[in-house]
Structure 1
């Protein structure tokens, strides 16, 4: 048996075993008229009047009518049944109607729901209107996705098509309303928004539709909060998000905090570490001001790492003297989440932190595998690392964000379970200084081939103010 598919939710289409069938214009119109009958038989006389436009009753006209209609019916049956298995007669049946003039031939189109898109659409919508929100949303999305234009487009304005067109238009409107409602109930106003926008566009004078659209947009603004950009890493279950805010307010996320290669934490007299640094805020806001507690946990974590050298007291009289490789990361468990303390700059014996793009890239490339291993697949929040007191002056803020994004995406391609969300947190005071269009371009480039190495080439190192952050 051939697989038949008649589609009338837009310009009519007939497919046999997935291959489009080509009908003459008159036969196409006959098919549309039979579909519009909604399973009822249509007399030959009616077909001649409504499909051929013939109204005159001439001598011998009845026989000519039957012959002309039969010719087109035969074309349709052969199209429905290319292998001559009997499907043509099953789908397009001849019946006899009793009229005042005696028996009259009529034709009836009998299609299963899976063979006629309007029937399948009706079943999907009716089932979804009584379903729970998640089930309803899925069924309604499938149904609305079937719409390609006006139903029975070739018969638009014809009286015979009006009943079915009104019914399908009513179902479409009910499906749209229910889809918006179900997605809103599921907390997905972003999925409801395009449908609400289309309704408001089609009905510019509909006050309730405009009000609903405004409400959805307000809910989206509330949900996004400080969110600036969001993008899904292609092929991976991870989003990259830029948010305006404070790193230490990201209570649902693991945190990344940059350190120097000596992992200094002392803020005494602002000599070694500045009180304004991210490390100092880490002490105050995560460890309750207990610097010794942070030091103990750092010391414990660093036992697993081999130092690269130790300074003498004469060469470095202040601060810690043991140095660790760039990219060394210590995992600090805190209240069910993790703080990743990662070394990306070198603290000189003159107590000035220095880093260059190559150091930062290396640190990030070594950081993400640790996040994948120890991060419990939680979101990971990162400051605009390199833009603080140990400024990577060779890169602007957009390039710094791009470097974070690129290294994260590269790691996700190797290990999809790095984190379900990378959240780059930008302080409000930094926002005006970052080119978000450049960052958005980087995010779009994730969808295609690997972006050009705009910041991959190591640039000369640059000295910055004391400390990192």
Structure 2
């Protein structure tokens, strides 16, 4: 026999082997009335009253009414068993009930496991109430996907359907609230938010639903804090995030700090390195003002690289004179994480730093290789390299951000264990001059090209 599926969590629907079977409106009401009986037999007298709205028998009307009921029962049986194998008689059963008026014909709808969506829905929700959060979320989501409208929609307001409608509607609300609770317990309020928004939209007078929605929004604001944009890269298991704030406040991440090719650190009188630059703040914010400690770590790391030239004291009177190739990146260990010092500009003998798009791209490509090797698979926080004193004038801030993202994504495709998150940190005063819509467009295009 064909596989039967009766759906009443929304407009009533009968399917055989996944194919919808067309029923007349009266036969649909008969099906709904029998479903609403929840496995109990329904006498013909009640069917006439509930399906045909006939409350009293007129002269010569009783037999016609019984014939009409039998006609619709036959139509429903044929729908349940188009091949007329006789199996439908076991699904829509005919019984005799003893009443004060004598024996009366009644009909009972008997559906097995998986054949009635409301029964499956009830079992899933009730089972989720006693399950661990991960299992509960799976069951509740599966249950809510079954709902396509108001339960027993064609019988809304009918007395015979009200008890089942109230129970299924209550279960749906319970499922939604439990799904929200379990998402929050699992630390995923962002997944709970759409459920809470739907509840508040459908029940604008439900104060609990409104309070739940407000609490979720507050939690997400607190969690995201200064987060402006987040995009999960398809297939790469990494996120690209843009935040408003201070690079040195990113205490959970490795840091990227741009240097010149001489790796100068002196901020005396702001002649070589400006105290206000990221490079200049590194000594105070990460090394507690101990420039010697930073210099020692740089000197140790630079032993792995070959210098390309050394300036004379006559030509370069201040600062360091040994030059390294653009793209040289030193991983400096600091308290269980790394500061990646990367040379993306050249410090002229006039003490002006100069860089360009090609220099920046080369530096970033070398940077990501170093992060993959030494980054301990931690998030990596990057300022807008090229927007400071060594300004890459050919690129505005948005294009600087997209260059950082493009090179990172390409590196992730080569080096899957590069970092779980790229975090681009933009200072609040630079935000109005940074078009983040271009950054978002870049991320979408990179995803499509995957």
The answer on 1:125 being equivalent to 2:125 is yes
Unaligned runs of 5+ in 2: none
Could you tell me how far 1:251 is from its partner in structure 2?
A: 0.9
Using structure 2 for the length normalisation, give the TM-score.
0.89
Q: Which residue is 1:262 aligned to?
A: 262
Unaligned runs of 5+ in 1: 451-469
Aligned length: 450
Check the 8 A contact 1:2/1:82 in 2, yes or no. no
Change (3 A) 1:25 1:332: same
- Give runs of aligned pairs for residues 204-219 of structure 1, distance below 5 A: 204-219=204-219
Q: Which residue is 2:161 aligned to?
A: 161
Change (3 A) 1:4 1:420: farther
Could you tell me how far 1:381 is from its partner in structure 2?
A: 0.8
Secondary structure, counterpart of 2:231 in structure 1? strand
Using structure 1 for the length normalisation, give the TM-score.
0.86
Change (3 A) 1:120 1:415: farther
Q: Which residue is 1:235 aligned to?
A: 235
- Whole-Å separation in 2 of the counterparts to 1:422 and 1:87: 62
Q: Which residue is 2:398 aligned to?
A: 398
Q: Which residue is 2:439 aligned to?
A: 439
Check the 8 A contact 1:327/1:342 in 2, yes or no. yes
- Give runs of aligned pairs for residues 83-162 of structure 1, distance below 5 A: 88-162=88-162
Check the 8 A contact 1:137/1:183 in 2, yes or no. yes
Q: Which residue is 1:5 aligned to?
A: 5
The answer on 1:277 being equivalent to 2:277 is yes
Offset from partner CA, 1:157-191 (integer Å, 9 cap, x none): 22221111011111122222333333333333323
Could you tell me how far 1:398 is from its partner in structure 2?
A: 1.8
The answer on 1:253 being equivalent to 2:231 is no
Change (3 A) 1:361 1:94: farther
Moved more, 79-88 or 38-47: 79-88
- Give runs of aligned pairs for residues 313-328 of structure 1, distance below 5 A: 313-328=313-328
Could you tell me how far 1:256 is from its partner in structure 2?
A: 1.1
Q: Which residue is 1:51 aligned to?
A: 51
Could you tell me how far 1:153 is from its partner in structure 2?
A: 1.0
Offset from partner CA, 1:296-343 (integer Å, 9 cap, x none): 322332333344444444443433334333322222222111222222
- Give runs of aligned pairs for residues 305-344 of structure 1, distance below 5 A: 305-344=305-344
Moved more, 337-346 or 110-119: 110-119
- Give runs of aligned pairs for residues 358-369 of structure 1, distance below 5 A: 358-369=358-369
Change (3 A) 1:78 1:340: farther
Q: Which residue is 1:177 aligned to?
A: 177
Offset from partner CA, 1:366-403 (integer Å, 9 cap, x none): 32233233222211111121111111122221222222
Check the 8 A contact 1:2/1:83 in 2, yes or no. no
Q: Which residue is 1:355 aligned to?
A: 355
Check the 8 A contact 1:242/1:423 in 2, yes or no. yes
Secondary structure, counterpart of 1:419 in structure 2? coil
Q: Which residue is 1:372 aligned to?
A: 372
- Whole-Å separation in 2 of the counterparts to 1:6 and 1:377: 51
Q: Which residue is 1:459 aligned to?
A: none
Q: Which residue is 1:299 aligned to?
A: 299
Moved more, 6-15 or 317-326: 317-326
- Whole-Å separation in 1 of the counterparts to 2:344 and 2:223: 34
Could you tell me how far 1:134 is from its partner in structure 2?
A: 4.0
